[in-house]
Amino acid sequence: MIFGQDLTTILLRIPVLLIVITVHEFAHARMAYHYGDATAEKQGRMNLNPINHLDPIGSLMILLVGFGWAKPVPINPINFNQYRSGLRWVSFAGPMSNLILGFFAMLLFVFMLNAGLVAFGGYFYNFMQQLIMINVYLAIFNLFPIPPLDGSKILMSFLSDANVELYNQIERYAPLILLALIFTGVFRMILFPVANAVFVFYNLIIGLILGL
């Protein structure tokens, strides 16, 4: 056991990590390109190569506790053809991509379970569970309004210039705040109830789609 996780779970999270991180960062880069900023493309980040997107500490957090972060895609908001809208949607694109991927993974999983195509408790069963959960956890985690998480940029897109300057002053302390909230369990107290609400919503929509 490592940090309360068995070795099999951690090993299954490696391919999950590669998928969710890659999709998340590619979505940021592609949305930035849509809004006129080609910075990520020029630096080789607008692709599906997971090696380009992994952050060592953030990746380790995902493996050990199920949520974390990737290496931020470089963007230059000055290049956006619509600054506030661009900042908002480029920041939201990553979490949105994980919520969408998590939904379709769960849709496939439920379909396969009902069709008897998945063995309960097998490796594929556990892999799909991890894929669904980590997509949702990563999305919600990144929506917290603490730099450098995506939620901080989304919040900034709604603030006045004066308030943005004030908000930027906490950025130097953000890594310490982030780690403190993670290791004191505050993030979990918020993340898990919100994630459960997302799973309930997924189940409702999937039930309507599959007629369950």
At residue 176's C-alpha, the angle toward residues 132 and 54, to 5°, is: 40
In tens, the pLDDT along 106-147 reads: 999 999 999 888 877 788 999 999 999 999 999 998 999 888
Given a cut of 60, is residue 45 above it in pLDDT? yes
| Listed range (5-9, 18-22, 44-48) with the worst mean pLDDT | 5-9
At residue 36, the 3 state secondary structure works out as coil
In tens, the pLDDT along 55-76 reads: 888 777 777 766 667 788 888 9
Average pLDDT over residues 170-194: 84
Average pLDDT over residues 163-179: 77
Average pLDDT over residues 157-164: 80
Q: Which helix (H) or strand (E) holds 202?
A: helix 186-210
Residues in the chain: 212
DSSP 8-state secondary structure symbol assigned to residue 37: -
Given a cut of 80, is residue 6 above it in pLDDT? no
Q: Residue 67 has what pLDDT?
A: 65
Q: Write down the residue that tokens 């990520």 correspond to.
A: 40
Find all residues with CB under 8 Å of 45, minimum gap 6, and list them. Answer: 25, 29, 52, 53, 73, 74
Q: How confident is the model at residue 2 (pLDDT cuts 50, 70, 90)?
A: very low
At residue 146, the 3 state secondary structure works out as coil
Residue 204 to residue 212: CA distance in whole angstroms: 9
Residue 201: count of CB within 10 angstroms of its CB: 12
165 belongs to the catalytic site? no
The alpha helices in 54-185, defined as continuous H runs, are 56-65, 83-114, 123-142, 150-156, 161-168, 174-183
Return mean pLDDT, the chain. Answer: 86
Q: Which of 25, 41, 165, 171 is catalytic?
A: 25
From residue 61, give the alpha-carbon distance in Å to each of 48, 183, 210. 21, 11, 35
Q: Count Cα atoms within 13 angstroms, Cβ side, for 175.
A: 3
Residue 197 to residue 52: CA distance in whole angstroms: 32
Residue 56 to residue 42: CA distance in whole angstroms: 23
Average pLDDT over residues 197-208: 96
Q: Bigger pLDDT: 50 or 136? A: 136
Q: Residue 148 has what pLDDT?
A: 80
Q: Which residue, 112, 76, 68, is CA-closest to 206?
A: 112
pTM above 0.85, yes or no: yes
Residue 146 to residue 142: CA distance in whole angstroms: 9
**Do residues 198 and 140 lie in contact, with contact meaning Cβ atoms separated by under 8 Å?**
yes
